[in-house]
Amino acid sequence: MANERLREALLRNGLDLDHVARATGVDPKTVERWITKGRIPYPRHRHTIASMVRETENYLWPDAVATERKAEIAESEVVKVYPHRNNIPADLWDRLLNDATEHIEVLSLAALFLVERPTFAKELRTKAENGTRVRLLFGDPTAREAARRSEEEQLGKGTVAARIRNALAFVRPLAEVPGIEVRLHKTTLYNSVFRFDDEMIVNTHVYGFPGAHAPALHLRRLSAGDLFETYSESLETVWAGAKRATF
């Protein structure tokens, strides 16, 4: 069975059989078999190719890594666990934002703690102008899900919707900046996800607690890992079903 994920990843990055053959030190026909017949390369070759196309080994070859090994790698993807999101040092958020050059993605309801930072909008604008892809996903303030979250967190009626509108006011100047997209979703959000290239903060949602008081994971993407990729795919799913924000 052909490996369409590998084929698409190579095409997307402008790579052909010869490029991969030279990088891995194998014959082009071997590379062709990896694609057309779904043959699985040796681990050292998988790592090289994954780096070339900027994908994880687990995405390109889902069956290549044993379940036990995936569990071990997942543990290594966790940089640190914070008992509450508000325990995350401010300088970590600064570093993640400053270091990102390819992807900045936010999936949340409001994320006011982040967007209300005095320099946040300016930093995102500068990042986009330098080629970083910025995608911001906020909850739809008119959706039932926003009202339900106010109830679940034992807040006043309409509190979450008001927070979302405040967040949108902060990012409104970015709506027409090339490279920045803002969308609204109506999902029941189980986690807020903040991605900065190959690092990520996942803020779990706990019934009855506001996000600031819920645990958070600091993850770092590993080539053969599955944990980072799981949250990234979740973000992609929400993004696909969200609508463009209108200001």
Token pair of 181 as six digits: 């997209």
Token pair of 30 as six digits: 């071997």
31: domain CATH number?
A: 1.10.260.40
Q: Are residues 112 and 40 in the same domain?
A: no
Q: Are residues 118 and 235 in the same domain?
A: yes
Q: Are residues 203 and 119 in the same domain?
A: yes
Residue 69's pLDDT is: 66
104: domain CATH number?
A: 3.30.870.10
Residues 6+ apart with CB under 8 A from 59: 5, 229
Below-70 pLDDT ranges, the chain: 65-74, 154, 224
Q: Are residues 85 and 40 in the same domain?
A: no
Domain that holds residue 218: 73-244
Domain count, the chain: 2
Q: Are 219 and 227 in contact (CB under 8 A)?
A: yes
Residue 91's pLDDT is: 93
Q: Are residues 213 and 117 in the same domain?
A: yes
Q: How far is CA 225 from CA 122, 183, 228, in A?
A: 33, 28, 7
Residue 55's pLDDT is: 84
Angle at 146 (CA atoms; ends 143, 152), nearest 5 degrees:
140
Q: Are residues 48 and 133 in the same domain?
A: no
Q: What is the DSSP letter of 177?
A: S
Residue 71's pLDDT is: 64
Q: Are residues 104 and 19 in the same domain?
A: no
Q: Are residues 93 and 56 in the same domain?
A: no
Token pair of 16 as six digits: 């052909």
Residue 144's pLDDT is: 87
Q: How far is CA 122 from CA 6, 116, 164, in A?
A: 37, 11, 19
Q: Are residues 53 and 144 in the same domain?
A: no
Q: Are residues 138 and 233 in the same domain?
A: yes
Distance CA 57, CA 38 (A): 14
Q: Are residues 110 and 210 in the same domain?
A: yes
Q: Are residues 135 and 55 in the same domain?
A: no
Residue 240's pLDDT is: 94
